[in-house]
């Protein structure tokens, strides 16, 4: 499974596809899983514990971007973060109606399909809440692909210049040591132990994320997460998620990408309206606000910010806030939906 995932990841990297180790592995293993189920073979099962450990590592590295510098910026961006709260509510409301009515998804699956958050976070939370993992993996894979292709393409059409990872941008993690790697792993394990104790949703993701964010935001830790560790973590998680595609067919794929494209179109339309309305009254230009509100991955949106000469710290602050708020809202809604059911 990992060999097939690595092959897909390397092909995606050569093709210049954003987040290649996650999306490439997910796509290649997903296609292989669909082929196996179509030929009557047994479904692939990825071991749960290794997947959870690497999900925890991704949580730690997301939390590590919550630096003291970012915390110092928060007082200056609170008006747009307040608007982000309304944006998340509107996006989830529109998405829920779309996936429930047009998609015919069950309430829990519709809630987590409508999350304008990260692929890993949404699928992890949705699985824990009892949603359909195959649909969630397909739907968020479609959303991420559409967003990370659509936003750079829009800027290329507008400016004539490539942006993001397509332009060769990257976040270098110079100066990391084996001690940093060991501490990141220990943080992931500690967060995975602490999460259930605090009864956090998707504890093996949210626990490490919050622990890392708290320590880095307070300036107590300054760990450098090497790019290869993030790539390996995304490879493992992408491979694991790809196995959930077993049993999917052409109709499922077409529905996921059709609904995903419509959802992205609606949400980007709202982001465009917010950026247009806020640019004259906030100390941020249209590009900063639009990239901050676009529902894509933290890394790719940060790379687009670098390409446009925008502070990636400001963009990262918005996206971390969006993911945290989305996770919280989805957890509350899921508990209420399950209680009602």
Lowest mean pLDDT among 63-67, 78-82, 170-174, 316-320: 170-174
The confidence score (pLDDT) of residue 58 equals: 82
Q: How far apart are CA 134 and CA 246, in angstroms?
A: 8
* Better-predicted residue by pLDDT, 296 or 226: 226
List the Cα angle 215/209/176 in 5-degree steps.
Answer: 65
Among 5-9, 43-47, 162-166, the range with the most confident prediction by mean pLDDT is 5-9
Q: Which long-range contacts (CB under 8 A, 24 or more apart) does 306-312 make?
A: 306/169, 307/155, 307/161, 307/162, 307/163, 307/164, 307/167, 307/169, 308/155, 308/163, 312/171
Burial 162-200 (b: 16+ CB within 10 A, else e): bbbbbbebeeebeebeeebbebbeebbbbbbebbeeeeb
Residue 87: which region, alpha, beta or left (left: phi > 0; alpha: psi -120 to 50)?
Answer: alpha
Mean local confidence (pLDDT), 86-114: 92
Residue 168: which region, alpha, beta or left (left: phi > 0; alpha: psi -120 to 50)?
Answer: left
The confidence score (pLDDT) of residue 91 equals: 92
Q: How far apart are CA 306 and CA 80, in angstroms?
A: 20
Tell me how crowded residue 34 is: count the other CB atoms within 10 A of its CB. 19
Lowest mean pLDDT among 43-57, 72-86, 326-340: 326-340
Lowest mean pLDDT among 208-212, 292-296, 308-312: 308-312
Give the C-alpha distances (Å, rounded to integers) separating 220 from 68, 142, 211, 237, 257.
Answer: 9, 38, 11, 28, 43
User: 263 burial class (0-12, 13-18, 19+ CB within 10 angstroms)?
Assistant: buried
Helices (H) and strands (E) in the chain, counts: 14, 0
Tokens, residue 332? 């509350």
The confidence score (pLDDT) of residue 325 equals: 84
First to last CA, the chain: 36
Give the C-alpha distances (Å, rounded to integers) separating 116 from 44, 141, 207, 215, 293.
Answer: 28, 12, 20, 26, 10
* Better-predicted residue by pLDDT, 91 or 66: 91
The confidence score (pLDDT) of residue 235 equals: 93
- Please give the full DSSP string across 208-225, using - where no structure is assigned: HHHHHHHHHHTTS-----
């Amino acid at each position: 499974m990992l060999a097939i995932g690595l092959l897909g990841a390397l092909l995606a990297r050569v093709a210049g596809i954003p987040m290649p180790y996650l999306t490439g592995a997910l796509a290649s293993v997903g296609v292989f899983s669909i082929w196996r189920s179509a030929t009557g073979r047994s479904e692939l099962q990825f071991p749960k514990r290794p997947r959870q450990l690497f999900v925890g590592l991704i949580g730690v590295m997301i939390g590590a971007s919550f630096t003291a510098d970012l915390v110092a910026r928060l007082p200056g961006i609170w008006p747009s973060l307040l608007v982000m709260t309304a944006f998340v509510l509107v996006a989830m409301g529109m998405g829920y109606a779309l996936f429930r009515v047009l998609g015919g998804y069950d309430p829990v699956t519709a809630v987590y399909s409508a999350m304008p958050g990260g692929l890993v976070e949404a699928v992890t939370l949705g699985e824990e809440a009892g949603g359909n993992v195959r649909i969630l993996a397909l739907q968020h894979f479609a959303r991420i692909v559409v967003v990370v292709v659509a936003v750079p393409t829009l800027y290329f059409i507008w400016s004539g210049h490539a942006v993001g990872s397509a332009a060769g941008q990257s976040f270098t993690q110079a100066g990391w040591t084996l001690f940093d790697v060991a501490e990141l792993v220990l943080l992931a394990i500690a967060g995975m132990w602490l999460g259930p104790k605090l009864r956090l949703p998707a504890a093996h993701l949210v626990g490490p994320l919050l622990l890392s964010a708290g320590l880095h935001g307070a300036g107590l830790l300054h760990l450098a997460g090497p790019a290869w560790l993030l790539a390996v973590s995304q490879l493992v998680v992408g491979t694991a998620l790809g196995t959930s595609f077993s049993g999917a067919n052409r109709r499922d794929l077409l529905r996921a990408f059709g609904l995903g494209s419509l959802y992205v179109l609606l949400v980007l339309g709202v982001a465009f309206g917010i950026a247009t309305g806020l640019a004259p009254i906030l100390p941020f230009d249209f590009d900063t606000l639009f990239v901050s509100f676009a529902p894509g991955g933290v890394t790719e949106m940060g790379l687009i910010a670098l390409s446009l000469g925008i502070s990636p710290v400001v963009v990262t602050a918005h996206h971390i806030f969006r993911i945290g708020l989305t996770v919280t809202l989805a957890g509350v809604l899921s508990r209420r939906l399950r209680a009602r059911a």
